[in-house]
Amino acid sequence: MREELLKIDTMAFGGAGLGRIDGKVCFVPFTAVGDTARVRIVTDKKSYMEGELLECVIPSPHRISPPCPVFGECGGCSWQHLPYDIQSRAKEDIFAEIIIRATRVERDRILPILPSPMPYGYRSRVQFKLRYVDGTLHMGFFRKGTHYVIDTPCGCAIAHGRVNEIYLRLREIMKGFPEPDKVPQIDVAIGDGGDAIVLFHYIGAGVEQATGWLKRAIPGQVPVTGVFLQRGRKSTISNVWGDEKVSYSLPRGMFPDFPGMSLFFRCGGFSQVNYLQNSALIELALRWAGLRGTERVLDLFCGNGNFSLPFARYCAEVVGYEDFRQSIEDAVSNSRSNAVDNARFFCKDSALGVQELARRGEYFDLVLLDPPRTGALEAIRMIPQLKPEKIIYVSCDPPTLARDLASLQKSGYEIVASRPVDMFPQTYHLESITILQRH
């Protein structure tokens, strides 16, 4: 593999720095704009190259020392070597480039990024990887692109302090687990009111022995309120001990006349990992929706009612679709506990739900969707049949968002505004929210 000297000109989606060698773009992880780097070319395709950083011959003036001792080895964070304001600007520029390329929307319709008030210590949910090698348990995170576990004895810099407290206790406890090579992953999730659960992924045959050990070893030793075991798909999750709920709050006054809400999700369910940014995202969605109290709102991929229930306070009716039954059950429970009586939830694939609604001739004033990274193209193609005046699209993946927005443009919808929201500082990932209006 040959080596090259490369000047880094910009940051790219995926987290790598980008430079050019003989006119061909080259992506190099862990570089910064302004670096002159010696790199080893590891991939040479027709249209691009990928390089491995060997040495910063002339470091960028923007470089800082990352606080995490395993940064560069762990596959989680990609930008701890950049100041947070530079990370934010890079994300905003990358997001704008992706959306504009697909939709040709004017640059001024892409608003400034909403930065996170906590660049570190924000993650409320973390999946820790485990591997037992030569009698030693390694616990931490995968090295990027591998299943090699980078041991992280000091915890995770972007994890909430309570998550790290639980993790450090688990590191000690797991030394006594009877089958240390049969637990490849432990998930930790915390609420913002003291509750916390741990989920042990178990691949052994001694379920009773493992369950008995967890019942003896965890309560009183690890600061959690619930312990669970999973032996395959989510359907195999079983309660070992304690409570199964994790709750978080949407603060009173977050939006005019908003009374505040407490929502929960159960082990295996989805929630945003950054509670502060989640509240900010909901507030922005409500502001853009401009509800007057008479609207019918459709919430696709509604989860536990994270958007549905705040929206229900300001409209006539909310209908939510989600294909994970447990999340629908949580949404129904959340509606009851928050005295919301104008929200209905259905366990069904969102695209099938839209198809069914269109077949019945139903209409909605607003459709809100928050799909997984794969986007929602199948549902997107049918949403115009419901005749919504507005569509609000919350996305965690700019490329699939750009694809889906281009489809909505062809169906007669105009992008009014789009704003990136930094839900994941120190990584290249970001959330975003876009509002479209029917022509």
Within 8 A by CB and 6+ apart from 271, the residues are: 124, 125, 189, 246, 248, 265, 278, 303, 304, 306
Compute the 3-state secondary structure of the chain and give helix, strand, coil in percent, each to the nearest 5. Answer: 30, 30, 40
Distances (CA, A) of 314 to 64, 301, 310, 345: 45, 20, 8, 17
Could you give phi then psi for residue 350, rounded to 5 degrees? -60, -40
- Phi-psi sector, 365: left (phi>0), alpha (psi -120 to 50), beta: alpha
The structure tokens 């030693």 sit at: 136
The active-site residue, picked from 56, 156, 267, 396, is 396
Could you give phi then psi for residue 294, rounded to 5 degrees? -110, -5
Could you confirm whether 396 is annotated as catalytic?
yes
* H or E element that contains 85: helix 84-103
Distances (CA, A) of 68 to 203, 252, 406: 31, 35, 39
Concatenated DSSP letters of 281-342? HHHHHHHHHT--S--EEEEET-TTTTTHHHHHTTSSEEEEEES-HHHHHHHHHHHHHTT--S
For residues 16-42, one letter each, b for 16 or more C-beta atoms within 10 angstroms of the residue's C-beta and e for the rest, the string is bbbbebeeeebbbbbbbbbbbbebebe
Distances (CA, A) of 389 to 35, 80, 301, 362: 48, 42, 19, 14
Catalytic residues: 396
